[in-house]
């Protein structure tokens, strides 16, 4: 067996998904196993060893790409462990900045609203006498006796990590570097994070929060990756390990220095997989629509690039897909711009006090799961789909996962009796409500970002995405849908083609009329030299390395920035900002001063590519039926049921119809047609 395996593994809270590409055949082998939340590395190793056991001669693993929710779960308190003790070191008089924050309330009219729990106890916030101004001038030097006293206090507390965030260190980090060196010598083995290392930007609270979150996650992420590496080695797997970052790029295990960059690791992989698919099939403007068992996520891909933002509130709450300011921990790292709503196959339908039908936000999860799993009586979205005939009544996963259709009908019937409606009308109402909720998150990443959703095609994936895609697209005026191969395992498969990223940031705080253009050019060049060396060390192909230069800019006096591309002169940069402001907000102010807040440098490099010209075949599935009774427009109709592995290239089908495969079901609604092409299903809405 001449060849190797390239493995992508996406670890979620419920399931761990694996996709392994065979270099010698182009085939992609997939596997879905239960996650092990207390020891998440176990599911990763079990999935790989199970795949390898299927081969007579075990092929070597050349690359392991991994996305994980461990950082998010730790901040949410879902890993059954205590967060490590962290000590914050800051400038005298500023120890409470991390707790005061911005004074924005996540619930404006709730007098008893609770702020997020503090990650650093007040007794563990230490200060030193020093002062640097916003231009980097030293107003009060750091004295050695204060450094020695600080180290003594740290020894008494014996923290797992130390976060150092001094005032205006983005402009001059000499004091932070001196403290970090002294602490590392005084407390060997303790992880030290400096704000100038992880977030060299102005705005004290956000920089301090980012530094603290990074310090809190450092021991957890480092321990997880070390245990994972050791377990893989014990299983005879010594492949390079790459981790998906929140900005959609891979990084080698050296990500340990910035573990906060992993917070949105899992969701980012789906958006990047959608972008890669769009580039392969020649569609530049895409909306990623990922609907699983608990949540639905949406993101925008413009000109083949997933949209990225520079700040995120980790472990924060959302409302109708929008992040609620003040409910989480601000983290200033690049993140793929995603909107998320509690809408999945396990989302529970219920009646409120007024007797109105509601769906979500609570979910039945995988345990006990929907009523049709046989372990619950609560009606869910999946049960509604069973009642309407959209899901196979005999079983899922190729018939290996049995479905109790009678239990699904009984659960929905209890709601129908109270509402005074028929069973099917109630089920259809549940579906309409959840479809409307998911359409809202797609509006957030398009209309609210100044984009027209009608100009985009939708990539539908996740275990339930293709089942609801037509209705969601109809609500937004989208006329094209792409369903990839193995949509239920799309995130894991997307890891196999992800690029490596580096990012660097430099505080500018100058207007375009005052900017030192030549000095910024030199900074970009130095940053790119460092990035090139880092990417080369991580194994990228040198000829694939590319860079992007950008600025965070604003009109003077504004509180928030827009990111624009670098220009060949100060005037062109200002014009780019005017154009971006007009595109986002509908107007610009040409005579207003444009201020540059930060300069950003992003490096991208590709690992040796797998054979993208050989499309992986489908897993063969057992055929249960050719026709099924489907609820449409107030009555049941017989519609064709097709197996995806039997669809030949160029095959065209008119809706309504059902297309089944091992890990997903696609519902083709009336007035929609389907065509199998280049390994994907292309759904198109008929012109009216």
421 to 379, 412, 416, 417: CA distances (angstroms):
15, 11, 5, 7
Report the pLDDT value the prediction gives residue 258, as an integer from 0 to 100. Answer: 85
Domain assignment of residue 412, yes or no? no
Domain assignment of residue 348, yes or no? no
**Do the Cβ atoms of 675 and 663 come closer than 8 Å?**
no
Which helix or strand (DSSP H or E) is residue 582 part of?
Answer: helix 570-585
Domain that holds residue 169: 86-222
Q: Largest alpha-carbon pair distance within the chain?
A: 84
648: left (phi over 0), alpha (psi -120 to 50) or beta: beta
* Rounded-to-integer distance, Cα 599 and Cα 596, Å: 8
Displacement of CA 486 from its chain's centroid (Å)? 19
**321 and 458 share one domain:** yes
Three-state SS at 78: coil
User: 243, 278, 303 — which closes off a domain?
Assistant: 243
Which helix or strand (DSSP H or E) is residue 573 part of?
Answer: helix 570-585
**164 and 36 share one domain:** no
Helix-helix angle 465-476:423-444, to 10 degrees: 70
**212 and 227 share one domain:** no
Residue 90's Cβ-count burial label (10 Å; 0-12, 13-18, 19+) is buried
224 to 37, 78, 163, 442: CA distances (angstroms):
12, 15, 20, 34
Domain assignment of residue 557, yes or no? yes
Angle formed at CA 14 by CA 11 and CA 16, multiple of 5 degrees: 30
- Give the number of residues written for the chain: 688
- What is the DSSP secondary structure assignment for residue 380, as one 8-state letter? B
Domain assignment of residue 366, yes or no? no
**129 and 191 share one domain:** yes
Report the pLDDT value the prediction gives residue 622, as an integer from 0 to 100. Answer: 45
**211 and 238 share one domain:** no
3-state SS string for 126-150: EEECCEECCCCCEEECCCHHHHHHH
- Structure-token pair, residue 450: 């100044």
**Do the Cβ atoms of 69 and 11 come closer than 8 Å?**
yes
**215 and 91 share one domain:** yes
Angle formed at CA 360 by CA 455 and CA 407, multiple of 5 degrees: 110
User: 587, 605, 623 — which closes off a domain?
Assistant: 605
**123 and 177 share one domain:** yes
| Structural domains of the chain, count | 4
Pairing of strands 296-302, 335-336: unpaired
Report the pLDDT value the prediction gives residue 402, as an integer from 0 to 100. Answer: 80
**122 and 35 share one domain:** no
* Rounded-to-integer distance, Cα 454 and Cα 480, Å: 9
- The CATH number of whichever domain residue 188 belongs to comes to 3.40.50
Domain assignment of residue 259, yes or no? no
**65 and 102 share one domain:** no
Helix-helix angle 144-157:174-186, to 10 degrees: 50
Three-state SS at 570: helix
Alpha helix segments (H runs only) across 106-243? 144-157, 174-186, 195-198, 204-234
Three-state SS at 122: helix
Report the pLDDT value the prediction gives residue 569, as an integer from 0 to 100. Answer: 94
* CA-based nearest residue to 376, from 386, 385, 367, 384: 367
**15 and 123 share one domain:** no
Report the pLDDT value the prediction gives residue 176, as an integer from 0 to 100. Answer: 98
Which helix or strand (DSSP H or E) is residue 49 part of?
Answer: helix 40-52
468 to 408, 425, 434, 462: CA distances (angstroms):
18, 17, 9, 11
Domain assignment of residue 260, yes or no? no
- The CATH number of whichever domain residue 314 belongs to comes to 3.30.420.40
**11 and 37 share one domain:** yes
Q: How far apart are the first and last CA of the chain?
A: 53
Domain assignment of residue 375, yes or no? no
Residue 556's Cβ-count burial label (10 Å; 0-12, 13-18, 19+) is exposed
- What is the DSSP secondary structure assignment for residue 62, as one 8-state letter? E
Count of CB atoms within 10 A of residue 624's CB? Answer: 15
Rounded-to-10 torsion of CA 252, 257, 260, 261 = -30
What's the alpha-carbon Rg for the chain, to the nearest Å? 26
Angle formed at CA 449 by CA 446 and CA 451, multiple of 5 degrees: 50
Segments of the chain scoring below 50 in pLDDT: 612-624
**70 and 93 share one domain:** no
- Structure-token pair, residue 194: 């400096």
User: 571, 605, 639 — which closes off a domain?
Assistant: 605
* Residue 618, CB-side half-sphere exposure with 13 Å CA sphere: 23
Domain assignment of residue 125, yes or no? yes
Report the pLDDT value the prediction gives residue 256, as an integer from 0 to 100. Answer: 63
- Cβ contacts of 331 within 8 Å, gap of 6 or more: 209, 210, 213, 260, 263, 311, 312, 313, 314
């Amino acid at each position: 067996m001449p060849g190797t395996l390239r493995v992508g593994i996406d670890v979620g809270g419920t399931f761990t998904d694996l996709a392994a590409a065979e270099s010698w055949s182009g085939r992609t082998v997939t596997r879905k196993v239960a996650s092990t939340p207390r020891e998440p590395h176990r599911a990763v190793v079990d999935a790989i060893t199970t795949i390898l056991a299927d081969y007579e001669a075990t092929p070597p693993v050349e690359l392991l790409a991994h996305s994980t929710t461990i950082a998010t779960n730790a901040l949410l308190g879902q890993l059954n462990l205590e967060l490590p003790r962290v000590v914050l070191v800051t400038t005298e008089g500023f120890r409470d900045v991390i707790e005061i924050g911005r004074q924005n309330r996540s619930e404006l009219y709730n007098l008893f609203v609770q702020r997020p729990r503090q990650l650093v106890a007040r007794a563990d916030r230490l200060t030193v006498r020093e002062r640097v101004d916003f231009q980097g001038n030293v107003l009060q030097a750091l004295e050695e006796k204060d450094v020695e006293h600080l180290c003594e206090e740290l020894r008494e507390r014996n923290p797992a990590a130390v976060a150092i965030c001094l005032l205006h260190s983005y402009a001059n980090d000499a004091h932070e570097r001196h403290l970090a060196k002294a602490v590392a010598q005084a407390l060997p083995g303790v992880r030290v994070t400096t704000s100038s290392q992880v977030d060299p930007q102005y705005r004290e609270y956000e920089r301090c929060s980012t530094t603290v979150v990074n310090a809190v996650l450092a021991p957890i992420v480092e321990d997880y990756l070390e245990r994972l590496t050791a377990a893989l080695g014990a299983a005879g797997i010594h492949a390079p390990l790459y981790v998906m970052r929140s900005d959609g790029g891979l990084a080698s295990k050296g990500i340990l220095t910035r573990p906060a960059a992993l917070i949105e690791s899992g969701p980012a992989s789906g958006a990047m997989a959608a972008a890669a698919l769009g580039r392969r099939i020649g569609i530049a403007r895409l909306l990623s629509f990922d609907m699983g068992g608990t949540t639905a996520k949406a993101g925008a891909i413009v000109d083949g690039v997933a949209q990225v933002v520079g700040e995120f509130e980790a472990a924060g709450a959302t409302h109708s897909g929008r992040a609620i300011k003040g409910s989480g921990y601000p983290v200033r790292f690049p993140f793929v711009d995603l909107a998320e709503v509690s809408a999945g196959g396990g989302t529970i339908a219920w009646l409120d006090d007024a007797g109105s039908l509601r769906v979500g936000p609570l979910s039945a999860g995988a345990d006990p799961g929907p009523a049709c799993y046989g372990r619950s009586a609560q009606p869910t979205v999946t049960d509604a789909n069973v009642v309407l005939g959209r899901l196979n009544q005999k079983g899922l996963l190729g018939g290996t996962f049995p479905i109790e259709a009678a239990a699904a009908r009984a659960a929905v019937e209890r709601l129908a009796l109270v509402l005074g409606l028929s069973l099917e009308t109630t089920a259809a109402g549940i579906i309409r409500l959840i479809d409307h909720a998911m359409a809202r998150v797609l509006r957030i990443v398009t209309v609210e970002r100044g984009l027209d959703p009608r100009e985009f095609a939708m990539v539908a994936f996740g275990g339930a995405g293709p089942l609801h895609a037509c209705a969601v697209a109809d609500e937004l005026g989208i006329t094209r849908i792409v369903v990839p191969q193995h949509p239920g395992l799309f995130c894991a498969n997307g890891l196999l083609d992800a690029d490596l990223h580096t990012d660097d940031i430099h505080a500018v705080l100058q207007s375009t009329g005052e900017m030192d253009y030549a000095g910024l050019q030199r900074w970009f060049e130095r940053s790119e030299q460092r990035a090139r060396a880092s990417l080369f060390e991580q194994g990228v192909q040198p000829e694939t390395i590319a860079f992007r230069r950008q600025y965070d800019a604003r009109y003077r006096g504004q509180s928030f920035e827009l990111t624009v591309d670098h220009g060949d002169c100060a005037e062109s940069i200002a014009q780019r900002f005017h154009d971006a402001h007009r595109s986002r907000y509908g107007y610009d102010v040409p005579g207003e001063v444009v201020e540059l807040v930060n300069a950003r440098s992003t490096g991208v490099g590709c690992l040796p590519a797998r054979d993208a010209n050989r499309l992986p075949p489908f897993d063969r599935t057992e055929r249960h039926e050719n026709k099924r009774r489907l609820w449409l427009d107030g009555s049941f109709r017989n519609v064709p049921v097709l197996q995806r592995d039997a669809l030949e290239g160029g095959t065209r089908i008119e809706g309504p119809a059902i297309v089944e495969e091992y890990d997903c079901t696609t519902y083709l609604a009336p007035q929609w047609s389907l065509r199998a092409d280049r390994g994907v299903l292309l759904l198109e809405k008929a012109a009216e």
